[in-house]
């Protein structure tokens, strides 16, 4: 995922959505695959085109449910950031930071802002390691700038 032309490869999956359907099932995968998937997604943020692919909002049908790239990415963020496994949590907070600091202006992103913020607040309640806390607070601040619902959520949850 370190080459700019990786986005060409990612766009080849537009018909079957195999990569993000797999990502959406992160909670059913063995731990080594969860770690590899979260690392892969973190690395996709090294280039604009591949990071935009992760946050793409067009929906498709996944087993009767509406799905999009941003929803699958959100599930990986939340699952990894709230993992009890430190390596996966490390990747989850990094991915959460990457998503939160990316400039996206869509209605779907507004919807996932609250979900991401809830996960971050839950993580912060656990008194995580300093580097996880740092990324979580920065991500939460960026989400609060993007969505008016996030500051209200922070005030409510505390």
Question: In the chain, where are the structural domains located?
Answer: 6-157
Query: Residues 127, 133, 136, 138: is their CA dihedral positive or negative?
Result: positive
Task: Find residue 67's DSSP bridge partners.
Answer: 60
pLDDT at 1: 47
pLDDT at 88: 97
Q: What gap in Å lies between CA 70 and CA 113, rounded to an integer?
A: 11
pLDDT at 12: 85
Q: Which residues have CB under 8 Å from 91's CB, separation 6+?
A: 35, 38, 39, 42, 80
Ramachandran bin of 75, using left for φ above 0, alpha for ψ from -120 to 50, beta for the remaining angles: alpha
Question: What does the pLDDT average to over 14-29?
Answer: 92
Fold of 6-157: 1.25.10
Per-residue pLDDT band for 85 (boundaries 50, 70, 90) equals very high
Question: What does the pLDDT average to over 74-95?
Answer: 97
* Cut 0.85: pTM above it: yes
Q: What gap in Å lies between CA 3 and CA 141, rounded to an integer?
A: 30
Ranges 92-96, 97-101, 119-123, 154-158: which has the least confidence: 154-158
Ranges 45-49, 73-77, 87-91, 94-98: which has the least confidence: 45-49
Q: What gap in Å lies between CA 104 and CA 150, rounded to an integer?
A: 16
Higher pLDDT, 62 or 119: 119
Question: What does the pLDDT average to over 49-57?
Answer: 87
Which of 121, 145, 143, 142 has its CA nearest to residue 133?
121
Q: Which residues have CB under 8 Å from 40's CB, separation 6+?
A: 1
The H-assigned helical ranges of the chain are 6-11, 18-24, 31-44, 48-54, 69-81, 86-101, 107-125, 130-146, 149-157
Q: Is 25 exposed, middle or buried (0-12, 13-18, 19+ CB in 10 A)?
A: middle
């Amino acid at each position: 995922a370190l080459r700019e032309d990786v986005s060409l490869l990612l766009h080849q999956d537009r018909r079957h959505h195999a990569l993000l359907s797999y990502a959406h099932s992160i909670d059913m995968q063995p731990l080594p695959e969860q770690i590899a998937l979260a690392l892969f997604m973190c690395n996709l943020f090294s280039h604009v085109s591949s990071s935009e692919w992760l946050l793409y909002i067009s929906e498709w049908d996944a087993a009767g449910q509406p799905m999009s790239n941003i929803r699958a990415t959100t599930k990986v963020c939340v699952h990894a950031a709230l993992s009890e496994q430190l390596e996966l949590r490390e990747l989850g907070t990094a991915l959460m930071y990457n998503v939160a600091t990316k400039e996206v202006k869509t209605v779907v992103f507004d919807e996932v802002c609250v979900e991401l913020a809830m996960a971050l607040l839950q993580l912060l309640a656990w008194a995580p390691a300093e580097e996880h806390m740092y990324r979580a607070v920065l991500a939460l601040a960026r989400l609060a700038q993007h969505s008016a619902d996030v500051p209200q959520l922070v005030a409510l949850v505390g």
